[in-house]
Amino acid sequence: MKSEIRNLKSAQPCPLVTYDPALIEALVRSKVDAAADADQSWINAYRDELDDIYERSPEERESLFASLDRRYFQRVGIPAIVEECLAERAGALPKTCNVTMLSAQDRSEEGADVNRAGQMILRFRTATLADSEKFRRRLRREIVQAADCFNPEFGHAPELLDALLPSERERIRAALTLLWALTAQIRLCAEEPLKTGATAQVEKERLDRLAADLRAALCGDAHAPLAELLQDLPARPPAFGRMLEFCRRHAGSEAAASGICDLCRFPSEDVQTLSVLPDNVRRALTAEFTSLQNMSHVCARCAERSAI
Ligand SMILES: [Zn+2]
């Protein structure tokens, strides 16, 4: 049975990964600069090879530097971790999926994205790559989420965020990021009995931290609706649209939290989203207030006034 599983796994082609030369160079240099913590023998070998390259003609040097860095990049072990994490999810990724790994400029840029062409883009800072275990954990979760993007049932539609009011977009985006990461972490933790106890413990702590961060990003007590949203996990993640709707309702949109009308800015008991108002009212409102979106909140008084 075990060998059958192994055969199945190896039958899945691992996606092709391309690494940005700038990322390779930055990581290898940072390893050399941190020589005191690193394996002294390979640092010395690297420096010897570097000295040899300086003996060569200037025209030859550039490509020799690049190939030296590529070899040491392999030795640092990043490609092995990326391939391991991709192989784990190969069954959930399209066979034609290409992966490109780039440098992230800051922490907020880090993670995995799937673009319209179906390519997976990984972005990480060298500081994150320097800690192999931390990088592996983060990448595993990111690839679970990237695999969601390829799942038609998940319905990944990031453009829906653009339709949100600018005043609430960032808050909702932040909550959605945490919520989606939490669903991935729940799935990873469900797989952990297969792994060693120490790894399971770290993954569990990460889960608790994500859950606490998400609670902090939500307004009021969203415990029951959150539990309902997550009830099909780990078997099935909630779809993208459902998670977005949950965050819109609970993630501190002023309007949703306190019932503030987007037109008169007065708090009111009877605000409704534009999308549920009668057609004639909606048409009259959007003709007069062009900034209104389907998810905007309108109080009964403003709705009545425009319908006259
Ligand atoms: Zn109003």
Q: How far is the CA of 289 from the centre of ligand 1 (A)?
A: 12
Whether 186 contacts 152, CB under 8 Å: no
Q: Report how far ligand 1's centroid is from the alpha carbon of 305 (Å).
A: 9
Whether the per-residue pLDDT at 104 is higher than 90: the answer is: yes
Listed range (23-27, 97-101, 180-184, 249-253) with the worst mean pLDDT: 249-253
pLDDT of 78 reads 93
Tell whether the torsion through CA atoms of 291, 296, 297 and 298 is positive or negative: positive
Q: Centre a 10 Å sphere on the Cβ of residue 97 and count the other Cβ atoms it contains.
A: 21
Would you state the pLDDT for residue 195?
Answer: 65
Confidence of residue 202 (pLDDT cuts 50, 70, 90): confident
pLDDT at 266: 76
C-alpha 248 – ligand 1 centre gap (Å): 20
Q: How far is the CA of 296 from the centre of ligand 1 (A)?
A: 11
What's the half-sphere exposure (Cβ side, CA atoms, 13 Å) at 122? 35
Q: What is the per-residue pLDDT for 112?
A: 94
Dist CA 189 CA 199 (whole Å) = 10
Q: How far is CA 214 from CA 152, 196, 236, in A?
A: 26, 27, 20
* Structural tokens at position 70: 């590529």
The CA 258 to ligand 1 mean position distance, Å, reads: 13
224: CA distance to ligand 1 center in Å?
Answer: 30
pLDDT-derived band at 7 (thresholds 50, 70, 90) equals very low
Q: CA-CA-CA-CA torsion for 33, 38, 39, 42, nearest 10 degrees?
A: -30
Task: Provide the token pair at 74.
Answer: 């392999």
Distance 297 CA to ligand 1 centre (A): 8
Contact 120, 98 (CB under 8 A): yes
Question: CB 299: neighbour CB atoms within 10 A?
Answer: 22
The whole-number average pLDDT for the span 79-107 is 91
pLDDT tens track for 184-194: 999 998 886 65
pLDDT tens digit sequence for 122-177: 999 998 998 888 899 999 999 999 999 999 999 999 999 998 888 788 889 989 99
The whole-number pLDDT of residue 252 equals 53
Say how many Å lie between the CA of residue 273 and the centre of ligand 1: 12
Rounded CA-CA distance 210/204 in Å is: 10
Distance 242 CA to ligand 1 centre (A): 27
**What is the number of residues in the chain?**
308
- How many angstroms does the Cα of residue 279 sit away from the middle of ligand 1? 18
Helix (H) or strand (E) holding 21: helix 21-33
The predicted model gives 206-234 an average pLDDT of 88
Neighbouring C-alpha atoms within 13 Å toward the C-beta of 110: 14
Of 203, 166, 163, the C-alpha closest to 184 is 203
Task: Say what the pLDDT of residue 10 is.
Answer: 45
pTM for the model: 0.74
Instruction: State yes or no: pLDDT of 306 exceeds 90.
Output: no
